Amino acid sequence: MAELQEATIVGTPALDGRYITEMDMWPLECPEFNRLYQFYDNLREGRFTTTKCQKCGHIAFPPGVICPKCWSEELEWVDLPQRAKVVTFTETQAGAPIGFPRPLIMAWLGFDKDSPIKHLLVRIVNCTEGELKEGDEVRLVVFEVPSHPIEVKKETKICDRVYYAFEPVK
Amino acid sequence: MARNTHAVIVGGGTSKFGVREATLFDMVQEAAKACSDDIPALKPRDIDGLLFCSTKVGRHSNALNTAPLIAHRLGLKPTSICTRLDTLCAGSNTGIILAKGLVESGIAEVVLVTGAEKSYLPQRWETNYTELAVNDHDWDSAMGLGVPPPFFAMIAKMHMKRYGTTKEQMAHVSVANYNYGSTNPKAHFYPKTLTMEEALEARLIADPFGLFDCCPLTDGASAVIIASEERAREMSERPLVYIRGTGQHATHSMSAGWPGETLAEWPHLKKAAEVAYKNARVTPKDIDVAQVHDCFTISEIIEMEELGFCEKGEGGAYVASGALNLGGKRPINTDGGLISCGHPFGASGARQSLELCKQLQGRAINQAKNPKFALAHNLSGACAQHTVVIYGTEPVE
C-alpha cells in the first residue's frame, strides 16, 4: 500500500514513478525529440555552445533551428564563454522548486563586454550557503541528470541526459 | 483600425479572495453572481462572448478547452468567442484588450471576461507542483527558476544598489496597500492594517523581502463585462468608462534575453506604457489613479518609474512621499492591490480594472477625487511581459 501510494503521488505509475512527465525538471535532449541535441552533446564534451547565423551573423541564446533575427536556417554552432562574474544572487531555503536541493543558490551573471550573451540567470553548485559574494568569478560545470525512457517502435530505449550550472572558481 | 463603436467596461464583481473552501468553478460562479449584482439589468443571454483566464485551472494544470465548461456553468451560450487565455498574471487584462478589439470591430457586442485561480490544494507541495512550467522550461526552469520570490529579490537588491532604494521605502508600499485593503471585504487580508514597524520587523522570506513585501498565493475569481457603448447604455445608467488605449509588450522568454541594462531597469514596461499612452492620447501626468502589479513592493516602486510617474531611480522616494495615498499625487492600488487582495493569477487583472471602473464612476470604497483617466498594469511570469490598459470617462475620438 505504501509503495502504491508513493507511486501514485510522486510519479507516473506506468513508468514505475521514474519521472513525472508533466513536471520533468530537465529537457528532452535526444535527437528523437529535439533538433538542438547538439547543444547537449557539446555539453558532454565540456563545450558551452549556441547557434550563430551564417547570413546575418547574429548569435542567439538559447540556440534554435532558425535565426530569431532574420529567420535564416543557415546556422553554425559556436562556443560561448565559460566564465562570468556574479552580479547579484539569492539563496533560497524555503522556495526551491520540487526536486532541487536546498539551499538553492541562483545568480544573475554578467559576461565580458565582447561576449555574445550579456547576462544569464543560473544555478550555482558546489557552493555552500554564505560562501558566494557579488563579483565572484564562476565557471561552467556539466553534470548528469536523470535519464528517461522513450519508445522506438516496440522497443524501449533509455536516453541519458546532462545539464549545466556554474560553480565558484576557487 | 476601423471602429464601429467604443468599447466600455460596464461593471463587474469578484468572489471573496483568500484561502477558500471552494473549487475553481464555485468561485467563477460567485464572481459571475457578483457581476450580475453590479449590473442588475444584465442577463446571461445578453452575453455573446466569453474569455476565461486561468493559468493553472486549479489542481488540473493540464486541463484543456475549459472555456466551454465555464460557459456551461454560467448558463452562457456564446456566439462570437469562447476561449481561454493563459497569460499568467496578466490573464484577464489581456482578455480586456482582446474584448475591446472584438467589440470595436463588431465581432462581439457583450463579452464576459472572467479570471480564476485555485492555488490552495490538499497538500502544500501540490500548489507549486507545476511551477517550472511558468518559465522557459528547458533553459531557466531547469536551473531552478520557479515561482518568483528569489528572482524579484535579486531585482530588489539591484535596485537598492544602483538607486539607493531602502527597505523603509519598500515598506511604504506594503503599508499603503494593506491599509487600502483593510476596507475591502473581498481582499485576502481584509480587515488587516499594517504599520511601518510591523512591516520592517516581519520574518524574512528572501533577502531583502520580509513577509509583507510579498503578495500571497490566493484563491479567487473575478468577472467584468466589456460591451459596446450602445449595449452598455441599455444595461446601466452609470457613467460610461471607456477603454481608451492598451499595450502589451514581450521581449524575451528566458533570462539571456532580459532587455534591461540590469534587473533594475524594465524597458519592456516603458515600451508597453508608451504604446498605451499613445493609443489613449494621454501622458503619464494625466493619469489620476492607477492599479499596478505589486507582486512585491519593489515591483510597485519600479513601475512608478517606468510608467513615467516619477524619474528613473526615484521610485523609492516617490512611494515614501505619500503620493500613493488618497489625497496624494496619484492614489495607487486603492482596493489593496495584489499585496492585500492576494494574487489569483488569472483573476487579478479584471479585479484591478473593476476597481478603476468604480473609481471613474465615482463609486469606489477609497474614492479618488474626480478622476478622469486611470491605468491598469500587470507583469507576467519572471517579468517576461508587460500589459497596460488605460481607461477614461470620455472616448478617444
Q: From first to last of the 397 residues of chain B, give the pLDDT tens digit.
A: 567 899 999 999 999 999 999 999 999 999 999 999 999 999 999 999 999 999 888 877 778 899 999 999 999 999 999 999 999 999 999 999 999 999 999 999 999 999 999 999 888 777 777 778 888 999 999 999 987 788 999 999 999 999 999 999 999 999 999 999 999 999 999 999 999 999 999 999 888 999 999 999 999 999 999 999 999 999 999 999 999 999 999 999 999 999 999 999 999 999 999 999 999 999 999 999 999 999 999 999 999 999 999 999 999 999 999 999 999 999 999 999 999 999 999 999 999 999 999 999 999 999 999 999 999 999 998 999 999 999 999 999 8
Residue B281: what residue type? R
Enclosing H/E stretch for B341: helix B337-341
The CATH number of the domain covering residues in B7-123+218-235: 3.40.47.10
Q: How far is A129 from chain B (nearest CA, A)?
A: 13
Residues of B in contact with A104 (CB under 8 A): 144, 150
Closest residue on chain B to A93 (Cα): B206
Distance separating alpha carbons of residues B245 and B252, to the nearest angstrom: 23
CA distance B294 to chain A (A): 19
**Of B62, B55, B54, B47, which is closest to residue B99 (Cα–Cα)?**
B47
Does any CB of chain B come closer than 8 Å to the CB of residue A8?
no
The number of residues making up chain A comes to 170
The ipTM is: 0.91
Q: What is the pTM of this model?
A: 0.95
Contacts of residue A90, defined as CB under 8 A and 6 or more positions apart, other chains included, come to A105, A106, A107, B150, B151, B153, B154, B157, B206, B207
Q: Which three cell numbers stand for residue A119?
A: 547576462
Strands B49-53 and B110-117: parallel
In B16-144, which ranges are continuous DSSP H helix?
A: 24-38, 67-73, 91-104, 124-127
Fold match, B7-123+218-235 / B135-216+244-392: yes
**Contact A106/B143, CB-based, under 8 Å?**
yes
Q: How many CB atoms lie within 10 A of CB A53?
A: 21
> Strand B242-250 to strand B385-392: parallel, antiparallel, or no bridges (unpaired)?
antiparallel
Q: What DSSP character marks residue B159?
A: H
CB contact under 8 A, A61 and B145: no
The 10 Å CB-count burial string (b at 16+, else e) for B233-269 is: eebbebebbbbbbbbbbbbebbbbbbbbebbbbbebb
Interface of A with B in 12-31 (CB under 8 A): 22-23, 25-27
Q: Where are the domains of chain B?
A: 7-123+218-235, 135-216+244-392
Please tell me the distance in Å from A117's CA to the nearest CA on chain B: 7
> Is B135-216+244-392 a domain of CATH 3.40.47.10?
yes
The answer for residues whose C-beta is within 8 angstroms of residue B129's C-beta and 6 or more apart is A23, A98, B61
Amino acid found at B181:
G
- B309 to B314, B315, B328: CA distances (angstroms): 10, 9, 13
Taken as a whole, chain B contains a residue count of 397
Question: Does A148 lie at the interface with B, CB-CB under 8 angstroms?
Answer: no
Instruction: In chain A, count H helices and then E strands.
Output: 2, 7
Q: Are B149 and A92 within 8 A, CB to CB?
A: yes
β-pair partners for B201: none
CB–CB of A42/A36 below 8 Å? no
Cα–Cα distance list, B28 to B36, B74, B235, B352 (Å): 12, 8, 21, 17
C-alpha distance from B156 to closest chain A C-alpha (Å): 10
